[in-house]
Amino acid sequence: MTRTAPWAGGLVVLALLPYVEAQDGKYSVKTAQTPIPTEIAGPIQKLLAPPSIQLLDPAGKTICEVWFCKEIPAEATPEQVKNGLTYREVKQSEVVGAIRFDQDWRDYRKQKVKAGTYTLRLGYQPMDGDHTGSSEFQDFLLVLDAGKDTKPDLMDAKHMIETSAKSIGTGHPGVFMLFPNSKPGEAPTLAAMPKNHWVLQTKEDVTVDGKKTGTSLGFGLTLVGAAD
Q: Is the pLDDT of residue 133 over 80?
A: no
Give 7's pLDDT tier (boundaries 50, 70, 90): very low
> What is the C-alpha separation between 131 and 124, in angstroms, rounded?
11
pLDDT, position 18: 36
Over range 160-185, report the average pLDDT.
96
CB neighbour list of residue 214: distance below 8 Å, 6 or more residues apart: none
- pLDDT tens profile 78-110: 999 988 999 999 999 999 999 999 999 999 999
CB neighbour list of residue 161: distance below 8 Å, 6 or more residues apart: 1, 123, 142, 173
CB neighbour list of residue 119: distance below 8 Å, 6 or more residues apart: 40, 44, 95, 97, 98, 143, 144, 146, 149
For 6-110, strand residue ranges (E) read 20-21, 28-32, 48-56, 62-69, 72-74, 95-101, 105-106
Pairing of strands 197-208, 72-74: parallel
pLDDT, position 130: 54
Do the beta carbons of residue 22 and residue 193 sit within 8 Å?
no
- pLDDT tens profile 197-209: 999 999 999 999 9
Q: Is the pLDDT of residue 16 over 90?
A: no
pLDDT, position 8: 36
Report the mean per-residue pLDDT for the chain: 87
Over range 69-75, report the average pLDDT.
96
| Most confident region among 3-7, 11-15, 53-57, 131-135 by mean pLDDT | 53-57
Domain residue ranges in the chain: 20-224
- pLDDT tens profile 31-48: 999 999 999 999 999 999
pLDDT, position 168: 98
Q: Is the pLDDT of residue 134 over 90?
A: no
